[in-house]
Amino acid sequence: MRYPPFLTIMMKQVLICLFALLLSGLAQAEPPRVDVPIGDSPSLGPANAPVTIIEFIDFQ
């Protein structure tokens, strides 16, 4: 079945909009991340560990 050209273009636009909405939804689900420079700070565990925990502490 063939649609008139203007309808095909509209359907394409609708699909693109849906895809963009989906992408922005995924982006919002991802928690915000902060890039903290590690430098020469004391560290424990392998440098290539999948999880890095940076802890800001005050001993007192």
Partner 1 sequence: MAAGPTVKELLQAYPDQIRLVIKNYPYKYRDFSKIAAEASLAARDQGKYWEMHDILITRSPKLDRASLIAYAGELGLDVKKFTEALDSGRHAKAIEDDLQLAEAMDLYNTPTFYINGRQVIGERPYAYFKRIIDEELQKAGR
Residue ranges binding partner 1 (CB under 8 A): 31-47, 49-60
Cβ atoms of 56 and 37 closer than 8 Å: no
Q: How far is the CB of 59 from partner 1 (least distance, A)?
A: 4
Nearer to partner 1, 1 or 34 (CB): 34
CB 54, CB 36: distance < 8 Å: yes
Nearest C-alpha neighbor of 17 from the set 29, 25, 28:
25
In the complex, minimum distance from the CB of residue 20 to partner 1, in angstroms, rounded to a whole number: 23
- Write down the least CB distance from residue 18 to partner 1, Å: 26
